[in-house]
Chains A and B, each alone.
Chain A
Amino acid sequence: MSAAAIRALIWKEWREQRLALTLRALLIIGWSITLVIICGHNIQLAGVLIILSLTVMPLIIAAISGVLSFATETVHGRWMFLSSRALAVGNAFGIKYLFGFLSSVLLCLISWSTIITLMPDQHIPDGWSAYLNIVWIGGYLFLVAFIYASTVMSIMLAGRAIIALMLAPFIIVFTIILTILALIAVIPFMLSYKALFCIYMLMLALSLTMSGATLWKRDISKGSGKGRTLLTLAGVIIIVSILLHTVSTVYTSLKLKNAVAEARAEGLKLSIAEIIPSPVPEAENAAVLYNEAFALQSKLYSRYKQTWRKYHQYPGETMPNKLKVMQIEDKDAIKLFNLLEKAVAMKKCRFADDYWLGLFRNDRVTDNVWHVSRFLGKRTLALIEEGRKDEALKTVEVGLKLGASMDNHPSISNIYCGYIKASICNSIIPRHGKTGMLSGFIVDMDDFHRISSIVKRRGNDVASILKNEIAIGNDLCFGELSTYIYNRGNRLGFNSYRLRDGPGILMAIYYTYPLRPILLNDNASFLQLGMQLLKLSNQPFYKARNAIENLNEKLDNNLHNGNVLRCPFTIIGGTYILNSNIYQEAAEYESVLESLRVGMALKAYRHSYGNYPMTLDTLTPDILPYLPTDPLTGESYYYHRQDQGFILYGLGPNLRDERRKYGKDNPCDDIVWRSVD
């Protein structure tokens, strides 16, 4: 078909649909504005309405107007005029389909941007956005595309208007059913996004089946020749695929069931209920207070953003007054501190909402803890500068308790693979690291108390100690070491940044019905290999290193042999953990923690004696009960005094002494801490 002919057809569609399109756009904008107004400050209602407006409304409108557009063309007999022109009818309908599809996408974007523009920020938390992205892009676009496609297909294949009319009620009924199911799935949070996707896929399957039935009735059963053979062949392939899918699902389910039984026998926790204790009453749940605190922190941050950022870029400079106000005098700051103080005193904490949509939100908990820790650190410094020592110490204590309360929190996804991952990670890390804490703030309560007691015993200036040494939110924590720790923490699989956005969408598709056998097989294989890793983790890393390498090799072979599918899905799924050598990561992480502990002890020593020691042995038993060894090597850390400061380093995962060349432009993997003096 010539470009001019395509232009003519597009022009026709535009002229025919422009009024409807405008009305649809107005309707969507009106709806979006209305929901922004009516939802007020009710976040949950806003969320439901956003889903409605992004998924359901455009879907219903698109389905109805799509059907109407086809029906008008066919019922009024205009298609006879069009199809008697010298053009392939399929092309004409194809352009109609494309036009309808693209205009629906456009409507979605309009709806989306209206809401983003008008909705108060806090009503669209990132977690929701990520969630909605997936629902929207994955579910909505597929569905609209396939409803359109199957409508077009049916009409074209059947070649009769009556089919379009027959299809119309089905499509509308399906859309309504979908709406109800989507609401059931989302509103009471009874079903996960995974279930929602299964529903989407089910609708899709029904829609295609309908088209297939039409095809069979109109063409295959009556037709003859090559076309019939091809279509019959296609039908056979589809049926065989479904059978194979069913068989492989059953097979892999059994495989996973056995793997799970073995894992449970080893004491592994494999469900969210096991990993996180059952929900606690709100009154006893610190998470309620934390959530409130996180919101306040976010408010404070927005208000003082510029000052906050600037200060962090230049460690050591005097804190600006404005920032002091933020930490100490702002009424929100006072409220925030009181909330945190109350929260850390509580025994139970469960971020129910976050874990429910954990795949997309758990990192928010981590981030938020990180942010409030920064607040506490800054507050401490500000109080010290103001000479309010008791309050400063109290703030530090809250900060440390906060850090401790976050230890080992299973920052995980709520998907099965995530449970396994978290369970294995959590089983391995506590054995080797003192803490599996994720927020980027690594302070051992023992160290704090020990240092505090030394300081008290020696009668030194608590304020100066706190200002220079304690890790909550001060320069020590924001130096390269903490970034290093933070990044390492992410790589352990605790942080799900990589699961958001693009890969997150793939993941969502991954967990839908068609790929179930792959998922099940992947999980089962992962679990079996994970169990071997878990057994190895009973030994210190430097002893188990060779065996772990063998295991990784085995995993690699498995990937090649097809036992675990090597594809993006697997990479973002469980196998990533093994492939990325979790145990080595844990050991590296631990190595960093231990070096930090030694480093802090060195600083404490200097405060007591005015100088850094000549050797590390001097630290025991006065400051440290024993001298930590590097878990990567089983040996002590390397330590040299350097001018007024010191350099402390471990060899890092490659076990080579790269002469402490660690730095931004140097790829060496030594774990190095230079004194900031």
Chain B
Amino acid sequence: MQYAIETSNLTKRYSRHKTAVDNLNLVVPAGSVYVLLGCNGAGKTTTIRMLMGLLRKSAGDIAVLGLDPDKEPVALKRRVGFVADNQKMYDWMTVREIIGFCRPFYPTWDDNLVSELVDLFGLPAGSRLRDLSRGMYGKVALLLGLAHRPELLILDDPTSGLDPLARREFMEGVIGVIQQQERTVFFSTHIVDEAEQVADWIGILDGGKLLLSQALEEVKENIKQIKLLFDAEPPSDIDLPGIVKRQSSGRELLLTVRDYTPQLTESLGRYNPRSVEVLDMCLEDIFVSLVSRKQVDR
């Protein structure tokens, strides 16, 4: 499989006691829409800035479209579209001006695509950026990330700070674009709904470590909840591989497991439950279970 992004043992330490990204081994398959989920402060932005060459890594290796961002930043940025977290642009420019300003930096700039996107996003070309709504502002940033037909689009939490309406407006734009063109999209967010709307692949980052990185279907297939009902107090010594979370309430025990297989249900039989029920989980539940387990472990 071709990877658009590949990191090995990527680490960023701000100080001896503060490690933002810790031995990250991330692979993003080419052509996929990869969503990196994580709470605030999980290390998403740090990771993306290192991928873009905007922040120097402390250790490890990065290959983005086969290029090292520290060594070939300009070549890389020509092939990558980027929208930063809470992107600030030159607010005094009009939409038309900022497009004209960015155009000379890219040999592959596509004016037709720009006009299409301006129409698609409904952007007022003559308005100054400071007069645009937050959603529109984000769309301008997205347009500027797309106009040179990048092979890889990196969006760093692009909807943070947007109200639900603006977020929906922006996401519609993103989805529209993704559907239109085939390219790798690497998207970080802390909003699970957004991820679920667009993702092929999911990565969950917490405390600078990657907890999970799988195709969305596989995630849903592999992570399940098993509801056990006992006659008496549930046994406390249930120990099976892949249990990520355990919740008990009265005679009921709810186990969240990753790498679920039917054999797992069978092996629970030795604890004599009255009933065993396997439940599907939504992405949000999966995210919360994984992240909270991590927090318990810590």
Residues on A lying within 8 angstroms of B by beta carbon are 2, 4-5, 7-8, 11-12, 15-16, 76-78, 80-81, 83-88, 159
Contact = CB atoms under 8 A, between A and B. Distances in A.
Contacts of A7: 104
Contact of A78 (B88, B100, B102, B103): B88
Contact of B105 (A16, A76, A80, A85): A85
Interface string B75-117: 0011000101011111011000000111111100000000000
B73 A8 contact: no
Interface in B62-79: 73-74, 77-78
Contacts of B74: 86-88
A85 B86 contact: no
Contacts of B52: 84
Given A5-B105, A11-B101, A78-B88, 18 more contacts: A5-B104, A8-B104, A12-B90, A15-B93, A16-B90, A76-B88, A78-B90, A81-B84, A81-B88, A81-B89, A81-B90, A84-B82, A85-B77, A86-B106, A87-B105, A88-B73, A88-B74, A159-B55
B56 interface: yes
Nearest to A15: B92
A84 B54 contact: yes
B86 A77 contact: yes
Given A8-B100, A11-B101, A81-B84, A86 B78 contact: yes
Q: Is the interface of B mostly helix, strand, loop or mixed?
A: loop
Given A12-B90, A16-B92, A78-B89, A84 B104 contact: no
Contacts of A81: 84, 87-90
B262 to A, nearest CB: 48
23 contacts: A4-B104, A8-B101, A8-B104, A11-B101, A12-B90, A12-B101, A15-B93, A78-B88, A78-B90, A80-B84, A80-B87, A80-B88, A81-B90, A83-B54, A84-B54, A85-B77, A85-B102, A86-B77, A86-B148, A88-B73, A88-B74, A159-B55, A159-B56
Contacts, number: 57
B84 A84 contact: yes
Nearest to A159: B56
Contacts of B106: 86
B243 to A, nearest CB: 42
A86 B89 contact: no
A241 to B, nearest CB: 30
A15 B97 CA distance: 11
B100 A77 contact: no
B105 A86 contact: yes
Residue from B74, B86, B148 having most chain A Cβ neighbours under 10 A: B74
A173 B104 CA distance: 39
A86 B149 CA distance: 13
Contacts of B101: 8, 11-12
Contacts of A15: 92-93
Contacts of B73: 88
Residue from A12, A78, A81, A83 having most chain B Cβ neighbours under 10 A: A81
Nearest to A88: B74
B82 to A, nearest CB: 5
A615 B187 CA distance: 111
Given A4-B104, A5-B104, A80 B78 contact: no
Residue from B55, B101, B105 having most chain A Cβ neighbours under 10 A: B105
Nearest to B73: A88
A87 B87 CA distance: 18
Residue from A4, A76, A87 having most chain B Cβ neighbours under 10 A: A87
Q: Top 8 closest A-B pairs, CB basis?
A: A4-B104, A86-B77, A77-B88, A5-B104, A86-B78, A84-B82, A86-B105, A85-B105
Contacts of B92: 15-16
B74 to A, nearest CB: 5
A87 B102 CA distance: 10
A2 B106 CA distance: 10
A86 B103 CA distance: 10
Interface in B143-170: 148
B158 to A, nearest CB: 13
A16 B87 CA distance: 19
A16 B52 CA distance: 26
A5 B56 CA distance: 25
Nearest to A12: B101
Nearest to A11: B101
Contacts of B88: 76-78, 80-81
A76 B86 CA distance: 11
A88 B84 CA distance: 18
Contacts of B103: 4, 8
A12 B105 CA distance: 14
